[in-house]
Amino acid sequence: MAILAIVTGAGWITYMAASRSYVQTLLPPEALGAANAFIEVSLQVGMFSAGAVSGVILHTMGFTMILAINVAVFLVAIGLLHDVPTATELPTSIVPTATGAWHYVRQRPLILSVGLLSVLPLIVTQLFNVSAPDYVLTILRANSVTYGTADMFYGIGGLTAGLITGWLLTKRSTKSLILLFFSVAALTLLGLFVGRWVSILFVGTFVLGLSNSALRVILGTVLMHQVAPDYMGRTTALWNGLAQFIEIFVATGMGMINDVFGASIGFLLMGLLMLLGILWSWRVL
């Protein structure tokens, strides 16, 4: 199971990097915002669907059937992509590819800053997953139904972001939207730190899902406009890998802090991270 988790995690990071680079090479710049929003909608719908049926399949047919369905779905995806043209040919050597991406990013301060900003929503999402169960149990004195409902609201927020962010990108500047959603996320997390009601949790998780997903779409679109196509996949892999590496330590630290100071402190720390995003965005964009 540990090996399976490693393989699927590596596959997810590879997919995210390759898909962003692929979309960038196939579409004109003016269509990138709508494309990223559509990808976000597709991901949220897929996760909703998987969440709805995976429990039933696991209970009735077992874990092996879930793996078989995964394999079948990936084979279908390969078939769908077979006739889509490839616009670029990337280097095949691993070491020059990795070092080249780092040198490329380091020499371009705007890309470096936007890439690091894009890591913040990923880290906050992971920290939320660490703090939320303990918050529901120890602070709200609620049960798994409450947690499951809150998780559903988070997904609905992400789906809503996918539906509206493409339209918002045509109406407002990317800087104003980034500042807006970082601010909304920070205020929401501070509200969860102060609040002690289930209704606040439901509203907060919806807004957090909306803001985090919107930030992923907007920051991803900015990167697609700024990064050269030959480097898009590698830089995306760099940001995702960095986020995963940081999450190893911050998630463990968050769990320890929650045990000492209470689960609500996690939302305060997440709010401070989003406040950092506000200040950083204001300075560099």
pLDDT at 120 over 50: yes
Percent of residues, the chain, with pLDDT higher than 90? 24
Asked whether residue 145 is domain-assigned, the answer is: yes
Q: What is the DSSP string of 120-135?
A: HHHHHHHHHHHHHHHI
Asked whether residue 156 is domain-assigned, the answer is: yes
pLDDT at 91 over 70: no
Asked whether residue 181 is domain-assigned, the answer is: yes
pLDDT at 221 over 60: yes
CA torsion angle 152 197 135 165 (round to 10): 40
Tell which phi-psi region holds residue 156, choosing left (phi > 0), alpha (psi between -120 and 50) or beta: alpha
* Full residue range of the structural domain in which residue 38 is found: 2-85+97-284
Asked whether residue 90 is domain-assigned, the answer is: no
How far is Cα 221 from Cα 101, in angstroms, rounded to an integer?
A: 18
12-48: per-residue pLDDT in tens?
Answer: 777 777 777 778 777 788 888 888 888 777 777 777 6
Residue type at 199 in one-letter notation: S
Secondary structure letter of residue 82 according to DSSP: T
Task: Give me the number of domains the chain comprises.
Answer: 1
58-78: per-residue pLDDT in tens?
Answer: 778 888 888 898 889 888 888
Q: What is the pLDDT of residue 89?
A: 54
Asked whether residue 14 is domain-assigned, the answer is: yes
198-208: per-residue pLDDT in tens?
Answer: 999 999 999 99
pLDDT at 247 over 50: yes
Percent of residues, the chain, with pLDDT higher than 70? 93
pLDDT category of residue 231 using cuts at 50, 70 and 90: confident
CA torsion angle 113 116 117 122 (round to 10): 170
pLDDT at 243 over 60: yes
Asked whether residue 270 is domain-assigned, the answer is: yes
Asked whether residue 92 is domain-assigned, the answer is: no
Question: In CATH, what number is assigned to the domain containing residue 250?
Answer: 1.20.1250.20
Asked whether residue 38 is domain-assigned, the answer is: yes
Helices (H), 135-228: 144-171, 174-194, 198-226
